[in-house]
A and B are shown apart, each in its own frame.
Chain A
Amino acid sequence: AQSVAQPEDQVNVAEGNPLTVKCTYSVSGNPYLFWYVQYPNRGLQFLLKYITGDNLVKGSYGFEAEFNKSQTSFHLKKPSALVSDSALYFCAVRDIVGTDKLIFGTGTRLQVFP
């Protein structure tokens, strides 16, 4: 069965420092991976995806993610964090065996301190 794991409930980082939000996956077949962000009282916003090709994927708001097949990871990164990046981040994998639904991780709350 497809699954993703987000090992950290919360990540704290100072503004201007690089940030990493971790995600590992378990799939049968090719992984189709996604990152979403949720700001307070809002729906989820798509950040980026990995389908195939370059292992470094660039997305919205200066975020990028590195796909690592050997470590089965898809960590979200940003070189310089902003206070406005503080939000809830979800990693997700496509269930290509079933109904094409997304399977979400438990979420990681990112707190960026001024």
Chain B
Amino acid sequence: SAVISQKPSRDICQRGTSLTIQCQVDSQVTMMFWYRQQPGQSLTLIATANQGSEATYESGFVIDKFPISRPNLTFSTLTVSNMSPEDSSIYLCSAGGDTYNEQFFGPGTRLTVL
């Protein structure tokens, strides 16, 4: 299994600013994923981040709004740009999970935009 940490655990931000969320894995993984979750609701995949290539974004999510970096096999960042109150959510990263194996999740970052 993989242990995943995220920073910050929560933040309160002003409209129009940007926040970068960090995700650290304790072992090397090929695939990392970023999700958004409203409290008590299901997860929505934002993008898949593979090391050495551009992130693949899901429908409704664009790189200008959610730029992602994946500089090595243990680390990724997600930036939420030009934030609005609608971006208030929990952001989760996950790692691992080739076809036959499970993904492991970080504890999440709770973002509130005022």
Q: Is B42's CB under 8 angstroms from A104's CB?
A: yes
From B11-19, B61-69, B73-81, B103-111, the one touching the partner chain is B103-111
A43-B108, A100-B31, A101-B48 known; A49 vs B42 contact (CB < 8 Å): no
Asked whether A102 is an interface residue with its Cβ less than 8 Å from the other chain, the reply is yes
Q: Is A43's CB under 8 angstroms from B106's CB?
A: yes
Number of A-B contacts (CB under 8 A): 52
Which of under 10, 10 to 19, 20 to 34, or 35 or more describes the interface residues of A? 20 to 34
Q: Is B40's CB under 8 angstroms from A88's CB?
A: yes
Q: Is A99's CB under 8 angstroms from B48's CB?
A: yes
- The residue that A42 contacts in the complex, of B4, B43, B94, B107, with Cβ under 8 A, is B107
- The residue that B105 contacts in the complex, of A45, A49, A88, A99, with Cβ under 8 A, is A45
Distance of A103 Cα from B103 Cα, bound (Å): 12
12 residue pairs of the A-B complex, CB under 8 angstroms, read A42-B107, A42-B108, A43-B4, A43-B92, A44-B43, A46-B104, A94-B99, A99-B48, A100-B31, A101-B33, A101-B48, A104-B42
